[in-house]
Amino acid sequence: AQTVTQSQPEMSVQEAETVTLSCTYDTSESDYYLFWYKQPPSRQMILVIRQEAYKQQNATENRFSVNFQKAAKSFSLKISDSQLGDAAMYFCAYTWGNNNDMRFGAGTRLTVKP
């Protein structure tokens, strides 16, 4: 079974500091893709970053980067120089092969303190 686990229901970070959100997944597939989505109170799910499993290099998008540990099946999100606008629910998500059945983790609520 393909499952995604986010073990931190809530996290908080001081503005301008760095925070890391954890995600682990369980899969027997060799061809899969991992995503982090952000859902602010406005409700829209916004793609933050994505990683193809076959790529060894960790994905980076401006202040957002991932630590992809394939052997450990770990896919953590690092947010640098946190901003108030980063406050949201963050979901780790997974799809595999030619499948668009996206599986989400339970989410981590991030609070940014001024």
CA separation for the pair 31, 11 (Å, rounded)? 31
Interaction site with other proteins (CB under 8 A)? 31-33, 35, 37, 42-47, 50, 52, 91, 95-102, 104-107
Residue 17 vs 54, nearer CB to other proteins: 54
Least distance (Å) between residue 103 CB and other proteins = 8
Least distance (Å) between residue 59 CB and other proteins = 11
Least distance (Å) between residue 70 CB and other proteins = 15
State both tokens at 14. 């001081």
Q: Which residue has the tokens 């060894």?
A: 56
CA separation for the pair 38, 107 (Å, rounded)? 9
Beta bridge partners of 5: 24
